[in-house]
Amino acid sequence: MSDSPSRLGDFLTATYEIDGPEPKARATAERICFDQTVEAEGDLLPHALQAQIVGQIADLRQTSGGRYHATIQYREELLSGDCTDLLNVLFGTSSLRGNVRLLSFTMTEGLLSAWRGPRFGIETIRRMLAVHNRPLLCGVLKPLGRSAQELAELATQLVDGEVDLIKDDQSLVDQRWCPFEERVSRCAEAISDMSQRRGRPCLYFAHVSGAAETMRKRAARAKTLGATGLLIAPGLTGLDALRLFSLDEGLHLPIMSHPTFWGASVGSERGGLAPGVLYGLLPRLAGADVTIYPAFGSDYSLSQQDCLSVAQRCRESWGSLNPAMPAVGGRIGPEQLLELRRVLGSDVAFVVGSRIQKDPEGIPAALRAFHRRMRELGPSSV
């Protein structure tokens, strides 16, 4: 069944999953239309004004398990171009209900044109690394508690093992035993030196999350100290902070998004944000070039289909926006590569952290085992 609005113009269109049967689903969809715009009873506004402001049901259809998909359109006038008001219109008050799940959203071309998305994206990052036909390997500087010099030594081993990307652990900020400036300076120098020795670049993403002014200073200083990318946790800082640094012409660095604190927003299968929205569409729209999220079969609860949906949202055609590189982690070992590669394809990064450090053969040898395994798998058709 369809309730097609007759309005013209640019729209934000969101699809929600809600409970049936049909009368209950329709009532919930109508409630969402009001909650996500005026958040008031309909009789408080003249009918003509309601038609201009309140969301409108574009489609309502039954799916499996007695649930319904409700597609709702919102007028462009509700948005100012910030991530903040986009999130509020998409899922502000409705997120409090517990039985409404935001499955996806789209924008008309005119509305999407105000968003640049990833500055670099998959193609440019691959060109920067001179790696074109295989998944990328991303090493992690951890655990918290090591000194800056110890982390720099770890970085050298990671580059020696042929990783393509290195990121700070998100727990690394400005601790007394590992000050921000010393850590970034030592690690950037170690990565640069070892990259030159091996004859191929490795990008270093320094973690800069913090209060707004702290982030600004850290990001500028990280670039000066030699970082070649920035790691930001938008669940802690907000998506607009990520977008700000992505658009900063003075920085001009790739941005990696980390999902810490976001897991609770995924919620259950009946509520929250679908993983494809939270880990895929939103960071990509805000400008993340690489977006990290849990791999299926890892220590974290994400199904194979949800894991794939994030990768698809990162890479699918979306107006003029560059594709973002999906990056999966969760104590990945070589034995998981076959299934991960089969499902996710080649345009993906595998994040290898603490597990690789426990290999009795040593970190470089363990990483080379990853590379051998990827070569054995051959090119992917996904």
pLDDT of residue 341: 93
Q: In what order do the strands lie in the sheet with 272-273?
A: 56-62, 67-75, 11-19, 101-107, 272-273
State the amino acid at position 14 in one-letter form.
Answer: A
**Can you tell me whether residue 139 is helix, strand or coil?**
strand
Beta-strand runs (E) in 20-127: 56-62, 67-75, 101-107
pLDDT in tens, 236-259: 999 999 999 999 999 999 999 999
Which residues, given as ranges, of the chain have pLDDT below 70? 1-8, 42, 267, 378-382
Q: Tokens 């299934």 — which residue?
A: 339
Q: In whole angstroms, how large is the CA radius of gyration of the chain?
A: 22
Which residues are 17's β-sheet partners?
69, 101
β-pairing verdict for 67-75 and 56-62: antiparallel
Token pair of 98 as six digits: 């517990």
pLDDT of residue 366: 93
CB contact at 8 A, 256 and 207: no
Altogether, the residues listed in the chain come to a count of 382
Rounded CA separation 380/370 (Å) = 16
Token pair of 211 as six digits: 């209060």
Alpha helices (H) in 204-302, listed in sequence order: 212-225, 234-237, 239-247, 263-266, 275, 282-286
pLDDT of residue 67: 95
pLDDT of residue 4: 41
pLDDT in tens, 93-144: 999 998 999 999 999 999 999 999 999 999 999 999 999 989 999 999 999 9
Rounded CA separation 206/284 (Å) = 19
pTM passes above 0.85:
yes
Rounded CA separation 184/186 (Å) = 6
State the amino acid at position 76 in one-letter form.
Answer: E
pLDDT of residue 1: 40
Domains in the chain, CATH or no CATH each: 11-112 (3.30.70.150), 121-377 (3.20.20.110)
